[in-house]
Structure 1
Amino acid sequence: MTLEELMIAIGIFIGLSVVGVVGFIRDSKQKKIGRRESSIVWIVIYAVFLALTFTGIIDWGFQWYGLGILFAVKALLGVVFLLRHKAPAEFRKGKAIPRLIGSILLFGFVSIPLLVFPQYKPLEPTGTFAVGTTVFTWTDTTRDDGFTPEADHRKVSVQIWYPASQAGEDAPVLEGSFPLAVFSHGAFGYRMSNHSTFMELASNGYIVASIDHTHQAFMTKQADGTMVLGDMGFINTAMQVENGEIAGEDLYRLQEEWMALRTADMAFVLDQIRRQAGSATSDAVFRQLDIERIGVLGHSMGGATAAWLGREDAAVDAVIVLDGTMMGEIVGFENGREVLSTTPYPKPILNLYNEAHYREGVELGTEYANMRMHANASQSFQLVVEGSGHLNFTDLPIVSPFLAGMLGVGPVDARYGMTTTNSAVLEFLDYYVKGTGSAIPEFRSL
């Protein structure tokens, strides 16, 4: 979080608290509650808020909802009071102090979204196409969900970004023949985790499908508006893994289970897209696909999912792993050690690493899945983003510096980190999926 963003959130909280404290001091001196003065102050505050919003200085979004409602209610009550011309009530310190404390706590509460999700300017896509987006939820009738008490079939939601005649939701798709990129998010992530990446690719002539791995995403909004939250059992287990509480063969079996779910999701989505692309009655966005050109990518566990699909699906042309451990390369566990695949990786693959991850991989050498794959592959590429942390390969450090700082980022500038990531993703897919541009170096440190 920048100092400017922090100061905005703190400044609003302090400003509102000062209004409350000044009113308390005034009332205590006058021995009566100055409702008239307070009403005028809140009406003025609301008027200023509206002016800043309509002029675009305040970028209206969910982080402003609490403040907007508070200001509107306070202003409305003020107008009602002024119209009634009621006499001021007697000031009673015993009631005024709790009321002041409650007001300050309320001001702090409604300011929290500005601290956690400050205003930010999205990264500008470099391509020439306007970008549309739409959401689909498909049901896999061959699998049970596994997370619900009932034997429900598994539902998988996918958001698609595509070249459009105008920007926006459900905008008309442009006619053309566009390659496909399929994305899988990391643990606790969701389909919007790399929104800037999807916008970058779609603006440059790709159709991008980002999957929500239902129950492993922290939140899934299905096409009909139904909200499904992440499964607490999965979240708790993933935290145990992160803290080193699960290891050895137990960890291997757990990763097998997770990968089975995610890879089945990704394979199902790709099959659905192929089926839709071959139908004359499908949504127009699928009829503009060049289904012979496919790239897959993902962040963290999603990168491992993409890498697995690259091995299993002959139609995939290229794979990108954003700071993930390639769990699919671990094919067994014997004598207290992981058994790694020795079969050469069959596709061009790019691994992007944060600095610490890459250093640890180099130290482990071919005992680490990623490095064993790299040593055996004919077209494996590595890129290290200097100063990056694990979440610098997602949009979270831009959208919420506060949350990203708590969860783990490096000192690299958040916008530089994602601009670098998106540029590498586009460059790699352009060369190996579109067949344009020039080959990238085998290793880069940026």
Structure 2
Amino acid sequence: MGTLLFFAALIIEIALAAWCIITKQNHKRFKSWLRVSEFLIFGLLILSTIIVWSFSWVLPAILLLILAISAAVSLLRKSALERRYQASRTVVKTVLMTLVLTLAFAPVLIFPQYKSPRVTGPYEVATASYTYTDKKRVDPFTHAGNRFVNVEFWYPKNAKNANGTYPLLVFSHGAFGIKSSNSSTYTELASHGYVVVSIDHPSHSFYTVSDDGKVTLADKGFLQEFQNANTDGVYTNKEVYGLFQKWMKLRADDMNFVIDTILEKTSSDTDSLYKLINTSKIGVFGHSMGGTASMWLGRERSDISAVVNIDAPMFSELVYNKAADDFAASGRRYTTPLLNIYSDDVWKQLGRNTIYAANQAADQNTAEMYTVHFQGAKHLSLTDLPLFSPFLANQLQRGSAEIDKYFCIETENELILKFFDYKLKGIGSFNPPKAY
């Protein structure tokens, strides 16, 4: 809808300019009525919900309002004389209006209106956000004050099952991601009777906002480390392995802290949300670096019953081989049930890049593992970003994915739901196709 309205506005401006140039008149009165009409039509589209109001429509609304007010004032001043027609003035005004329209509609074009992926569960879903402060850790980025994490819950609203509680699922976003990166997945899971908590890892996330309104952006040092680690020749393999360990320690410490805090609150906090949680049924999942951290926790904690790794290397199962100066699979047995979901971006590297050596050897080293490859998908296809902002997704992953974005995310959500149902609720069986 945003793209349609943007190009319609551009066509109107160009057509008006051409009309004025051909007739050698300003047509000021007609333009004024048109400006007022455009604003009224925009308002009707919002009221009829053809346009779903969001932050991206603020600038177009302001622009159309200003133009409508200016036009209304011009119409009321009936005695005002029109300026003598000048073609150059018409061209300049049209160019300026085109630039203004482009700037005003930029948020709409970057964050277009989109249809939410389907939600199939019987429960209405509610959300709640909190900031947890870890009094046992100093923030490693600021070196001042305690480490904090911002979390958001998705959970069944006003619903009770036979046991009165639901399994807990903990999600970790990728590098420079945000906790809402897979909101459609959380909503689908919560609608089927899960309490899902997604974590913002401050300084690892693109941005995060605390309960008190404090905004924390991605740390520049972490950004530089991440870029250098993915650039040949900047670090040695040994240095890269050290970075893996540092990043995963932060992630794992954050996730352990969140889980422990929730477990404590289920027995001591009066908030009804925590009373919904079945503390004996816990699963973890994440995308990219968050998937790596989830696997790390699946090895560390005995109370985690299932792990979903979305498009990530298995750093917890990787070692640095000093003699070969390269990475290798540790060979240790991984006993927590594991579902791997891969895009083409990672799938094509499994046999080429030794960072994925543990993924390649996982068939021999895991007690129970399922692997699914989404053919034609790119790394961010396994998040909601291609829906929320196709432009940003294509820029970040250097091209558009071949797979249909709704098919990809909805099928992924279905797979994750069936896996957790099987491992945490004992529902049905799980034998997914190896490729889609």
**Contact 1:385 1:417 (8 Å CA) reproduced:** yes
Determine if the alignment matches structure 1 residue 406 to structure 2 residue 410: no
Give the whole-Å Cα distance in 2 for the aligned partners of 1:392 and 1:17. 32
The percent identity for this pair of structures is 34
Q: 1:123 to 1:159 in 2, by over 3 A?
A: same
Determine if the alignment matches structure 1 residue 428 to structure 2 residue 419: yes
Using the TM superposition, give the Cα deviation of residue 397 of structure 1 relative to its aligned residue in structure 2, in angstroms: 1.6
Determine if the alignment matches structure 1 residue 370 to structure 2 residue 359: yes
**Contact 2:313 2:356 (8 Å CA) reproduced:** no
Q: 1:49 to 1:367 in 2, by over 3 A?
A: closer
Give the whole-Å Cα distance in 1 for the aligned partners of 2:52 and 2:9. 20
**Contact 2:298 2:304 (8 Å CA) reproduced:** yes
Q: 2:317 aligns with which of 329, 346, 349?
A: 329
Give the whole-Å Cα distance in 2 for the aligned partners of 1:366 and 1:38. 62
2:170 match: 182
Give the whole-Å Cα distance in 2 for the aligned partners of 1:291 and 1:390. 32
Give the whole-Å Cα distance in 2 for the aligned partners of 1:120 and 1:426. 23
Unaligned runs of 5+ in 2: none
2:94 match: 100
**Contact 2:327 2:357 (8 Å CA) reproduced:** no
Q: 2:267 aligns with which of 239, 263, 278?
A: 278
**Contact 2:189 2:196 (8 Å CA) reproduced:** yes
What is the letter of the counterpart of residue 340 of structure 2? N
Q: What secondary structure does 2:361 align onto?
A: helix
2:199 match: 211
Q: What are the residue-to-residue correspondences of 1:15-414 with 2, within 5 Å? A: 15-25=8-18, 33-85=26-78, 86-91=80-85, 96-148=90-142, 151-165=144-158, 176-244=164-232, 245-279=234-268, 281-335=269-323, 336-362=325-351, 368-408=357-397, 410-414=401-405
Using the TM superposition, give the Cα deviation of residue 45 of structure 1 relative to its aligned residue in structure 2, in angstroms: 0.6
**Contact 2:169 2:197 (8 Å CA) reproduced:** yes
How many residue pairs get aligned? The number is 431
Determine if the alignment matches structure 1 residue 439 to structure 2 residue 427: no
Using the TM superposition, give the Cα deviation of residue 23 of structure 1 relative to its aligned residue in structure 2, in angstroms: 4.2
Between stretches 425-434 and 365-374, larger displacement belongs to: 365-374
Give the whole-Å Cα distance in 1 for the aligned partners of 2:87 and 2:161. 64
Q: 1:140 to 1:330 in 2, by over 3 A?
A: same
1:12 match: 5
Using the TM superposition, give the Cα deviation of residue 80 of structure 1 relative to its aligned residue in structure 2, in angstroms: 2.2
Using the TM superposition, give the Cα deviation of residue 41 of structure 1 relative to its aligned residue in structure 2, in angstroms: 0.6
Using the TM superposition, give the Cα deviation of residue 332 of structure 1 relative to its aligned residue in structure 2, in angstroms: 3.7
User: What is the TM-score of this pair, normalised by structure 1?
Assistant: 0.89
1:169 match: none
Using the TM superposition, give the Cα deviation of residue 54 of structure 1 relative to its aligned residue in structure 2, in angstroms: 1.0
Give the whole-Å Cα distance in 2 for the aligned partners of 1:252 and 1:82. 70
What is the letter of the counterpart of residue 126 of structure 1? T
Q: What secondary structure does 1:444 align onto?
A: coil
Between stretches 122-131 and 352-361, larger displacement belongs to: 352-361
Q: 1:367 to 1:147 in 2, by over 3 A?
A: closer
Using the TM superposition, give the Cα deviation of residue 48 of structure 1 relative to its aligned residue in structure 2, in angstroms: 0.9
Between stretches 251-260 and 81-90, larger displacement belongs to: 81-90
Q: 1:356 to 1:219 in 2, by over 3 A?
A: closer
Using the TM superposition, give the Cα deviation of residue 270 of structure 1 relative to its aligned residue in structure 2, in angstroms: 0.6
Q: What secondary structure does 1:350 align onto?
A: strand
Give the whole-Å Cα distance in 1 for the aligned partners of 2:216 and 2:365. 41
Using the TM superposition, give the Cα deviation of residue 356 of structure 1 relative to its aligned residue in structure 2, in angstroms: 4.8
**Contact 1:164 1:173 (8 Å CA) reproduced:** no
Using the TM superposition, give the Cα deviation of residue 235 of structure 1 relative to its aligned residue in structure 2, in angstroms: 2.3
CA RMSD of aligned residues (A): 2.6
Give the whole-Å Cα distance in 1 for the aligned partners of 2:94 and 2:73. 21
Q: What secondary structure does 2:367 align onto?
A: coil
Using the TM superposition, give the Cα deviation of residue 175 of structure 1 relative to its aligned residue in structure 2, in angstroms: 9.3
Unaligned runs of 5+ in 1: 167-171
Give the whole-Å Cα distance in 2 for the aligned partners of 1:42 and 1:28. 19
- For residues 201-224 of structure 1, the C-alpha deviation after alignment (integer angstroms, 9 at most, x for no partner) is 000000000000111111212223
Q: What secondary structure does 1:438 align onto?
A: coil
What is the letter of the counterpart of residue 33 of structure 2? I
Q: What secondary structure does 1:189 align onto?
A: coil
Using the TM superposition, give the Cα deviation of residue 428 of structure 1 relative to its aligned residue in structure 2, in angstroms: 0.8
Using the TM superposition, give the Cα deviation of residue 151 of structure 1 relative to its aligned residue in structure 2, in angstroms: 0.8
Q: 1:330 to 1:97 in 2, by over 3 A?
A: same
What is the letter of the counterpart of residue 437 of structure 1? G
Using the TM superposition, give the Cα deviation of residue 422 of structure 1 relative to its aligned residue in structure 2, in angstroms: 0.8
